[in-house]
A = this chain, B = another copy of it.
Amino acid sequence: MARKPTPLREQTRTVVRSLLARTAVELFAAKGYDDTTLDEVAAAAGVSRRTLFNYFRNKEDLALGGLSEQGELIAARFAERPADEDAWASLRAAFQVLEEIGMTAERRLEMITLLFGNEALRAGHAEKQARWQDLLAPLIEPRLPDSDRRALQARAIAAAAITCLQAANEEWARLGGQVDLFDLYDTAVRAIRRPA
């Protein structure tokens, strides 16, 4: 009984959820985030406005849907890395799950364009990524040499790495997705870690 509580229900729920998000993002991209009402999204998806809130906490989540999820993927991948690997190397490897997600360059550019165009969305995005720290820092901490303030150090490393990814991502979008994201990421990391 407890084995498979509602496998089918959950499945449909996931499908509907991603369908709604997809519809919403299309509309946002076409008309702009602020100029798209939830009534319109609901109508386009053939569902009631009230139901949107059944699947998403708020309008922002409708646009940023996958981000929390991505954080969990990254953390999971990090946890799989050998415990004696350098934290930065593990982080880099963990971030690469993002490339494995089935997401075309076009869609990613669309997303980033959406994000840059709206302050509230940028804010939500920044916050979501900041929450990645909460997942990663505890995993980094045991890899650091003993010292007080290890928690702070772990958090700083997580935050800095995420920040580099973010900077690389922005640059990548600015260049129209024509370069390799991880080349940019490596450049960013080297820039902050180089003793010079």
Contacts and interface: CB of A to CB of B under 8 A. Distances in A.
Interface stretch (A75-83, A96-104, A167-175): A167-175
Contacts of A145: 196
A187 B152 contact: yes
Interface string A167-195: 11011000000000000100111011101
Interface in A133-164: 144-145, 149, 151-157, 159-160, 163-164
> Chain A's interface: helix, strand, loop or mixed, by majority?
helix
Contacts of A163: 156, 159-160, 163
A85 interface: no
A133 to B, nearest CB: 8
Interface residues of A, number: 35
Contacts of A196: 145
Contact of A156 (B123, B127, B151, B164): B164
B195 A152 contact: no
20 contacts: A119-B127, A123-B123, A123-B124, A123-B126, A123-B127, A149-B171, A151-B171, A152-B167, A152-B168, A152-B184, A152-B187, A154-B191, A156-B168, A156-B191, A157-B191, A157-B192, A163-B163, A192-B192, A192-B193, A195-B195
